[in-house]
C-alpha cells in the first residue's frame, strides 16, 4: 500500500473519532447540567427527568459510536489496498 494513503487513512480516522466526540460530549454536559437544574427546581419530578436524561444520553453516545465505526471503516476497509 502507498505510504501516503496509509498516513492519510490514519489522519482521517483520528479526525473522524475526534470530531464525532466533540458534539455529543458538549451535548451530554449541557443535558446533565439542565437535568440537575430541573431536579433542583422540582424534586418531585426527579424520576421523569432522570429517565428522559438517560435515554437522551444513550442517543448522544450513539453518535460517538458512529464516528468510531466510520474510523474503523476508514482504517480497515481501505479500497486502495
Let me know if residue 9 belongs to a domain.
no
The string of pLDDT tens digits covering residues 14-69 is 998 999 899 899 999 999 999 999 999 999 999 999 999 999 999 999 988 998 99
Let me know if residue 81 belongs to a domain.
no
What's the pLDDT at 76? 85
Residue 49's domain comprises 14-76
Let me know if residue 6 belongs to a domain.
no
Let me know if residue 63 belongs to a domain.
yes
Q: Is residue 9 a contact partner of residue 78, using CB atoms and an 8 Å limit? A: yes
The reported pTM is 0.74
For residue 81, pLDDT over 80 is answered with: no
Residue 40: alpha-carbon gap to chain centroid: 27
Q: Is residue 63 a contact partner of residue 24, using CB atoms and an 8 Å limit? A: yes
Domain count, the chain: 1
Q: Is residue 18 a contact partner of residue 71, using CB atoms and an 8 Å limit? A: no
Residue position matching grid coordinates 427527568: 49
What's the pLDDT at 22? 92
Tally DSSP H helices, then E strands, for the chain: 2, 0
Q: What is the CATH number of the domain that holds 51?
A: 1.20.20.10
pLDDT band at 8 (very low <50, low <70, confident <90, very high): confident
Amino acid at each position: 500500500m502507498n505510504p501516503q494513503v496509509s498516513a492519510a487513512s490514519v489522519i482521517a480516522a483520528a479526525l473522524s473519532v475526534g470530531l464525532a466526540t466533540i458534539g455529543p460530549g458538549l451535548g451530554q454536559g449541557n443535558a446533565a447540567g439542565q437535568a440537575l437544574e430541573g431536579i433542583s427546581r422540582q424534586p418531585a419530578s426527579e424520576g421523569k427527568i432522570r429517565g428522559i436524561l438517560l435515554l437522551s444520553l444513550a442517543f448522544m453516545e450513539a453518535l460517538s459510536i458512529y464516528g468510531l465505526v466510520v474510523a474503523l471503516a476508514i482504517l480497515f476497509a481501505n479500497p486502495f489496498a
